[in-house]
Structure 1
Amino acid sequence: MNLKRMAITALATVGIMTTGAALAGPASADPEPYTGDPYTQALQLSWPVLKQGQTSEEVRTLQWLLNCHGKKVDVPSRFGPKTHAAVYAFQAELSDRPDGVVGTATWALLIGKGSIVYGGTDNDCVRALQVALNKWRYNDDLPITGYLGPRTKAKLHKFQSAHGLPATDQPDAKTWNKLIATPAGK
């Protein structure tokens, strides 16, 4: 299935879910593992909606993920017109109905396809991970370097263990979801 068809399917799924016509997905505390690729896993989770005018670390994470996908935007933690335009452009490549609002389908595409976060890499996907990890203070804020070295891995493992997730060097959809959708301190 090509990426555009997957995006359209995701947007249709979100549309059905917002009208109440779909069955509920697994609860966040569901002990069963998610199956399928990261994109499909991400669609099964609840994500925050981000739109123009908001300011948060989730927006900053979004901005780094957009950069990771080639939609270059500054990362001031404010969802302004340039971020809106970058989201719209990202969505337009994958859907016939872009709206510039980041919801479940957009998050799923951002973290589920092509977000490369591997040890030793130096890229904007790693910067997104570092920003998201810094939301969880643990008294050891990471510099936003884009390098997935020992400090970043240690903080990722600490976060995953604290949230009942398997400690891995590659954040999966559930890890990204907990980092982005859960308020700090929960």
Structure 2
Amino acid sequence: MNLARMAVTALATVGITMSGVALAGPASADPDPYSQALGLSWPTLKRGQISEEVRTLQWLLNCHGKKVAVPSHFGPKTHAAVYAFQAELSDRPDGVVGTATWALLVGKGSIVYAGTGNDCVRALQVALNKWRYDDDLPITGYLGPRTKAKLHRFQSAHGLPSTPEPDVRTWNKLIATPAGK
């Protein structure tokens, strides 16, 4: 099953329906029809980049069992982890993070937020810290009151529905919108 089809399956659980779309091309270039239908645009991340989005990606890869250091630099180890993640879901991995890969990383049902020391929550905390709101969250991996409050504040500020855990639209705003917008 190719990466775009897996992304479609992951986002279909969000409750959005669309039919008859076939995609081709490398894993990162495959546009996800559900993201397009929602008007979502995801950043493309590739080797050599340094950013908080890369740091969020690294925690998300850890969340999915692809253990990688989190230096905010998309180096050879991050590239290898992305490639391995894509290879599990596609016959055309390329090591570049595009729409289909983001959708699989953050799609509903793909992330577990329970427990402490959770890499999925660490990814959320890093992404939320891009939005200062008077305080930075410690990167603890615990989805406690401070993280939930900052999540709800972010959702409210961006016209998103308030959810106990980030949905795909919230992740998209966290990752794709420059801070301060």
Specify the SS of the correspondent of 2:41: coil
- Could you tell me the percent identity over the aligned residues? 77
- Long gaps (5+) in structure 2: 9-21
Shift of 1:26: 3.7
Of residues 126, 130, 149, the one that matches 2:125 is 130
Specify the SS of the correspondent of 1:93: helix
CA distance in structure 2 between the partners assigned to 1:117 and 1:104 by the alignment? 22
After superposition, residues 72-151 of structure 1 pair within 5 angstroms as 72-112=67-107, 113-118=109-114, 120-151=115-146
Shift of 1:25: 3.5
User: Paired residue for 1:47?
Assistant: 42
User: Paired residue for 1:59?
Assistant: 54
Assess, with a 3 A threshold, how the Cα gap between structure 1 residues 19 and 151 changes in structure 2: closer, same or farther: closer
CA distance in structure 2 between the partners assigned to 1:159 and 1:26 by the alignment? 23
CA distance in structure 1 between the partners assigned to 2:171 and 2:30 by the alignment? 26
What TM-score do you get using the length of structure 1 for normalisation? 0.79
2:110 aligned partner, one-letter code:
G
Specify the SS of the correspondent of 1:55: coil
- Deviation per residue, 1:154-180 (Å, 9 max, x gap): 000000000001111110000000000
- Deviation per residue, 1:32-52 (Å, 9 max, x gap): xxxxxxxxxxxxx21000000
2:120 aligned partner, one-letter code:
C
Would you say the 8 A contact 2:3–2:89 is kept in 1?
yes
Q: CA RMSD in A?
A: 2.4
Assess, with a 3 A threshold, how the Cα gap between structure 1 residues 55 and 125 changes in structure 2: closer, same or farther: same
Shift of 1:6: 6.0
Of residues 164, 174, 178, the one that matches 2:159 is 164
Shift of 1:94: 0.5
Shift of 1:8: 4.5
Shift of 1:27: 5.8
Would you say the 8 A contact 1:14–1:104 is kept in 2?
no
- Long gaps (5+) in structure 1: 29-44
Of residues 23, 48, 63, the one that matches 1:13 is 23
What TM-score do you get using the length of structure 2 for normalisation? 0.81
